[in-house]
Amino acid sequence: MSVEVKIPAVGESISSGVVSVWHKKSGDFVNSGDALFTLETDKVSTEISAETSGVLDTLVPEGQEVKVGEVVATIDDSKKAPEAKPSEKKTVGDAVSVPGKPTASPTKEKSTDGETLSPAVRRIVDEENLDPAKISGTGKGELFIRYVLGHEIASRMAYLGESLETAADHLIGHDLKPHQIGAGLVAVDSEGNISAPFNTDGMYRGWVTVEGECFVATHHQVFSM
């Protein structure tokens, strides 16, 4: 019997993603728990595993956008695992496949500076016929967009009653910390209060108050200009 492999729900606000890499190919025998493919969304990258053992038949190519609930492969669980062949001596440089672990995968689309383009960015580049080499940015700004940091800070202040400083510190020091990137921001609330948190040893920041006072900072020290 063929068992359908569907795109699972990976978040409340996520309705689609991209099958970035197939770790197994059509005709391969897979065991339950083996990583089948990597699903990339605008927020997370997730390995989708086989729920049963059998022979895999992939239905979509790498790089295709798929919807939650869409069938992307089938597994024929009536097939039995092939008998193990006598092990062959591997020479230096041979790739070794480890059951349950993804094998070497094709290189994903990258920009000219070596950064892998996310599904959202790839869609915009394709739809607008843009050249990634001609698009510049500063740092890991995409994570600020992905986590809608401005909206999240405002939400924490409105619904949790946090101060601007507490809300901004949480986003920079907690939500972005797992990505191991140096990040900082300058946040201003409706009353003109300013917070400039960062998660590195030091970061250059600067701002002007409603009174016209200028401040710059490098580490935790703030200097009035």
Q: Which residues are catalytic?
A: 91
Torsions phi, psi of 150, nearest 5?
-60, -45
| CA nearest neighbour of 184 among 213, 212, 218, 225 | 218
What type of residue is 32?
Answer: S
| CA nearest neighbour of 147 among 175, 169, 117, 187 | 175
> What share of residues in the chain are helix, strand, coil (percent, to 5)?
20, 25, 55
What type of residue is 110?
Answer: K
Number of helices (H), then strands (E), belonging to the chain: the values are 4, 13
In the chain, the largest separation of any two C-alpha atoms, in whole Å, equals 79
